[in-house]
Amino acid sequence: MKSDRLLSILLLLQTRGRVPARELAERLDVSPRTVYRDVESLSAAGVPVYAERGRHGGIALLPGFRTDVTGLTTDEARALFVLAAQGAHTALGLDDALGSALRKVMAALPAPHRPAAELTGRRILVDPDRWLSGPRPAVDLDDLHTAVFTDLRLRIRYRHSGETRLRTYTVDPYGLVAKAGTWYLVADRRARPQLFRADRVASATLTDAPVRRRPGVELADVWQQLRQQVEDRPAGVRVTARIRRERLDMAVRILGGALTGPPRTGDPDGDRDTTGDGDWAVLDLAFPVLPAVRQLLQFGDSLEVLGPPEARRVMAGAAAALTAVYTPDPPTPVTARSS
């Protein structure tokens, strides 16, 4: 609606100052021509807004102009009270600030919207942690949080997965990202984007050198690039397995990152009855390395690896080693002593 768009333009100008018309058009998903018409409408309504053309031009409000905008809709008010990332506020030490901010927003809301907003806060809860994820290591975000706001280069001592020794890197931070309850530092190292898990950063020290970010690149851009690299990483080993249907839901939750498609029925090679009386489903999986297939042992005899043959051999060897651990040693024969 045009009224919502006019309000959005007004709020953007109040928070950002001068904004190019093209940027406003992209944010509002309209054409620059529409933006200029909206500016004329705001001016006609008494808002002191003006446009400057040229390379450094844009749309701005006269200095000192502010307006108290409280025209939130019911859905907007409810959205503010759905705390989708409570763990993020805790890690950043912003729990008290969040509570204070919400109380101020509640006081500023139009009276008809307050009951819906308050009820939403009591009826909707989003927990970012996965089931059975176990306790997470304590993460001290103070230094990392300071680094991303001071625009200084950062020197970190970092432990990579599977390693015990620490490595030292000098990085140019873009920001922090919380994904599924895990914090990551997004930074450039030698002008290339890299992801660092916050719980593996042993120490972080600010340098005196200014940060060297790539021009025009924002945190969201770098995060999207790194996320795509992780999700599009080629799988080293593709595995087909069958699983009993009563364990299927659990397998999908646990193996979700390894699944390459939805569970199915039938045997892809046609030489094995994988469905029987409907008690089995077939899974197509991908693992980075062959030994990683051993994680399928957690499903016991409810899961069978159908192929490739080398994956079956890994499973057989791991099962045999596990059996040997739990097989009691045979009793030592007692030899009779001669008198």
DSSP 130: P
Nearest one of 211, 227, 142, 127 to 177, comparing CA atoms: 227
Q: Taken in order 27, 31, 32, 34, is the CA torsion positive or negative?
A: negative
pLDDT at position 288: 84
Please give the Cα distance from 213 to 187 (Å, whole number). Answer: 9
Please give the Cα distance from 57 to 50 (Å, whole number). Answer: 10
Phi and psi at residue 290, in whole multiples of 5°?
-60, -45
pLDDT at position 159: 92
0.85 exceeded by the pTM? no
Please give the Cα distance from 75 to 116 (Å, whole number). Answer: 9
pLDDT tens digit sequence for 55-109? 777 898 888 776 655 566 677 777 766 654 555 666 666 667 777 777 777 776 7
pLDDT at position 11: 78
Long-range contacts of 15-20 (CB under 8 A, 24+ apart): 17/60, 18/52, 18/57, 18/58, 18/59, 18/60, 19/58, 19/59, 19/60, 20/57, 20/58, 20/59
pLDDT at position 317: 93
State CA 171 to chain mean position distance.
21
Segments in the chain forming alpha helices (H):
2-16, 21-28, 32-44, 74-80, 86-91, 95-108, 114-123, 142-150, 219-231, 248-254, 309-326
Using alpha carbons only, how large is the chain's radius of gyration in Å?
29
Phi and psi at residue 289, in whole multiples of 5°?
-140, 160
pLDDT at position 278: 67
- 292 touches 248 (CB < 8 A): no
DSSP string covering 213-271, please?
Answer: PPTT--HHHHHHHHHHHHHTPPPSEEEEEEEEGGGHHHHHHHSTTTBSS--B-S-TTSS
| Residues of the chain under the 70 pLDDT cut | 1, 66-73, 80-95, 108, 110, 126, 128-139, 233-235, 266-278, 334-339
